[in-house]
């Protein structure tokens, strides 16, 4: 029963991500920048909250790390979706960005 619940939650997360991507495809660049700025502000607020909650001797809340990771994932999906649209349209600047990203060695 627990596996079924987890699978439903995973499907809901994928559906939300797809909806975010579709919304991003429709959004002009200014709205995309506003969405990224909003996610950055949300992440900074979460980080500030985490730092404020640090107390010597108390355990760290791992939920905060997960929350920050979720925010970062949404931000990356927004950027990736926009880059994908630009590549499909044949934008040469987007192609240059992708070429540079592919040449980065890890």
pLDDT of 4 over the 70 cut: no
Sorted by where each begins, the domain ranges of the chain are: 2-102
Burial 60-76, CB ≥16 within 10 A → b, else e:
eeeeeeebbeebeebbe
Percent of the chain with pLDDT over 70: 73
pLDDT of 70 over the 90 cut: yes
Of the pLDDT bands very low, low, confident and very high (cuts 50, 70, 90), residue 21 is low
Segment 57-65 mean pLDDT: 82
Segment 74-98 mean pLDDT: 88
- Please report the pLDDT score of residue 97 as a whole number: 85
């Amino acid at each position: 029963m627990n596996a079924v619940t987890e699978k439903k939650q995973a499907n809901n997360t994928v559906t939300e991500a797809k909806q975010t991507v579709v919304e991003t495809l429709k959004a002009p660049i200014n709205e995309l920048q506003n969405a990224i700025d909003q996610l950055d502000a949300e992440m900074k607020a979460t980080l500030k909250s985490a730092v404020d909650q640090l107390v010597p001797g108390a355990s760290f809340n791992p939920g905060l790390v997960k929350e920050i990771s979720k925010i970062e994932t949404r931000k990356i999906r927004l950027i990736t979706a926009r880059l994908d649209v630009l590549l499909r349209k044949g934008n040469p600047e987007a192609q240059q960005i992708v070429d540079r990203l592919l040449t980065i060695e890890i």
